[in-house]
Structure 1
Amino acid sequence: MDDETYDVVVIGGGAAGLSGALALGRARRSVLVIDAGEPRNAPAGHVHNYLGREGTPPAELLAIGRGEVRQYGVQVHDGAVQDATRLPDGSFLVTLADRAVTARRLLVTTGLVDELPDVAGIAEGWGRTVLHCPYCHGWEVQDQALGVLATGPLAVHQALMFRQWSDDVVLFQHTAPQPSDDEAEQLAARGIRVVEGEVVGWEADGVRLADGELVPRQALVVATTLHARVDALVSLGLTTTDLEMGGQVIGSHIAADPTGLTAVPGVWVAGNVADPRAQVVMSAAAGLTAGAALNGDLIAEDTRAAVAHRRASGQDSQVATGSADG
């Protein structure tokens, strides 16, 4: 990092961060991307529903993105942000392990952390045989024997969703509330069997119940609790709010306006830290939106400074125009 002062520092180098950096780099802004190297989708084999990049491995997609942003002068640094604070002039001081940099604006794209159910084997299978999103993984497990682990009131919704990809779906009641009469009727109508009893393990051959029974399954669907990754940025005043789905809290996120602007002046967010349900292509689009908004905000600030300078220098406030006769 040759220049320690930037127009924008992007904290997080996933699809959202790199997309925002690309827009800003093309706008001739000085940009630094700081990436801790902890992408949420690292365990997954491929990215799906990304037009033009369908089936690309996540690491390959990020490598392509890094190459593209560097073409426009964007710097990318591997490392974790330890702290970020606002300076008296309204800019930001971003502290890393070995140095500190300043930025006029921040784009936070740190993503989220999935809190997995506390069942043996689930963490080991996460992203491969343990799944959460039918649009991310449904095609790959079509017609397989699927299990859905009920850990909350949205389990029936998950089971009915995955039924679109397989006619062999079992809902494991585990510790969740019993389905309502209407839900039980829906499950029965779709041929989804409900298995009572606590689940104690996910194994190579299926789901292990507390009584020792093994129910053969090829993949297991779980609902995770989604936590916005902002621990290093609390000193900025960024706070998380509950994210609800179907009237139920499923995690936390940072609230922002449609461009990604947060309640903290000068700080934008994009990607899963703002919308935990966003897939990769949606996060990339949000990064572009935030990048364009950031550039517009900087243009407005640059213009205000130029006008103030012009007035202070005593120049004529009228716009000069050429005469008709030259």
Structure 2
Amino acid sequence: MLNQYEVIIIGGSYSGLSSAMALGRALRKVLVLDTGKPCNRYTPHSHNFITQDGETPYDIFQKAKSQVLAYQTVDFRENKVLKVLKTEEGFEVKTPDDSFFTKKIILATGIKDIFPDIKGFEDCWGKSILHCPYCHGYEVRNQQIAVVGNGEIGYDFAKLIYQWSTNIVLLTDGKSTLSEEQTNKLISKGIRVIENTIEEYCHVDGQVTYIKLSEDMELSVDAVFARIPFQQSTSFAEDLGCTMLPSGYVQVDEMQRTSVRGVYVVGDSTSMMRSVSVAVATGTKAGAMINKELIEEEF
């Protein structure tokens, strides 16, 4: 059958392509479907991935895609998936103009960040408003940094960022819910706690220069670290009946298997460790495990 594949991978970024490479090298007939909108498209450079440190996300993607497509059993199509249905033989994947059938599914669809309704935030996201110090902390080391957070989360985040710079201000964006002990500890480290609400991130081409706060306060900064809410980019895992965690991630085991047989989830959908290297690792594991699963079913 023309549209029959052994494995269909929905999402063609790093984790999806990593899965495709493992399966292509195992001679499996694979289809990768992708919309071309990875979550890290906002950031100009990717870090903390050996051999690719400092490269642009797009360049890493293009190199990975060309290497994966060297395996003749792997197809790649830019197409939006509308629905994934469970069938007696496996799964049906529907796009706007076609349907595809497969024995196994890998969801590499990632997550979608939910931006706060604050002027300038989205323009700076991934450039000077950052989520991960392991990905971007070295580039802003020893600079003036604002950490956005409150309560236990804000306290822990400020402690983490302190490793990269001691020039830190913690913005609680409203009344502080820090304990007295936490506040005193931060003050002892020279970290100011500011409770004024954030009104605007002022920037030049995505590089934040200062933050406008309530009561006509302005705070000069070189970078901001913020953790923001997210949601799954698609509802496919939930629609298929996969167990979801209270945190919003899809529950998987150590080999990326979900609670639904034949469905694997890789990349950012499953872990708060949002980095290219981690995404690649999850994809490789899923690809190898699916190949083994298919062997067991066919032998």
- Kindly report which structure 2 residues correspond to 1:100-115, keeping only aligned pairs within 5 A, or say none: 100-115=99-114
Q: How many residues align?
A: 293
TM-score by length of 1: 0.86
**Residue of structure 2 equivalent to 1:83:** 83
Task: From the superposition, tell whether residues 122 and 176 of structure 1 become closer, same or farther in structure 2 (CA, over 3 Å).
Answer: farther
The 8 Å contact of residues 151 and 179 in structure 2, kept in 1 or not, is answered as no
Distance 1:127 1:278, change over 3 A: closer
Which residue does the alignment assign to 1:224?
A: 228
SS in 2 for 1:237: coil
The answer for the alignment partner of 1:255 in structure 2 is 251
- Cross-structure match for 1:288: 284
2:152 aligns to what SS in structure 1? coil
The answer for the alignment partner of 2:206 in structure 1 is none
Written as runs of structure 1 = structure 2, the 5 A alignment for 1:1-326 is: 3-73=2-72, 74-89=74-89, 91-151=90-150, 153-175=152-174, 177-204=176-203, 205-243=209-247, 252-303=248-299
Q: Distance in 1 between matches of 2:261 and 2:6?
A: 15
Distance in 1 of aligned mates of 2:93 and 2:17: 18
Return the TM-score normalized by structure 2.
0.93
Give the letter for the 2:227 counterpart.
Answer: A
Give RMSD over aligned pairs. 1.6
Structure 1's 230 and 241: CA in aligned 2 closer, same or farther, altered over 3 A? farther
The structure with more radius of gyration: 1
Counterpart AA for 1:273: S
Deviations 1:215-241 (A, max 9, x none): 111212111113222324543223532
Partner letter of residue 77 of structure 2? H
Checking the alignment, whether the CA contact within 8 Å between 2:9 and 2:105 is kept in structure 1 is: yes
Partner-residue secondary structure (3-state), 1:118: coil
Kindly report structure 1 stretches of 4+ aligned residues shifted beyond 6 Å.
none
Shift of 1:267: 0.4
Contact 1:116 1:223 in 2 (8 A): no
Secondary structure of the 1:242 match is coil
Structure-2 residue corresponding to 1:308: none
Distance, in Å, in 1 between the alignment partners of 2:29 and 2:240 is 22
Q: CA deviation at 1:152?
A: 5.5
Give the whole-Å Cα distance in 2 for the aligned partners of 1:33 and 1:184.
49
Which residues of structure 2 form unaligned runs of 5+?
204-208
User: Counterparts of 1:99 and 1:177 in 2: how far apart (Å)?
Assistant: 53
Cα drift, residue 117 of structure 1: 2.6
In structure 2, relative to structure 1, the CA distance for the partners of 1:176 and 1:285 (3 Å cut) is farther
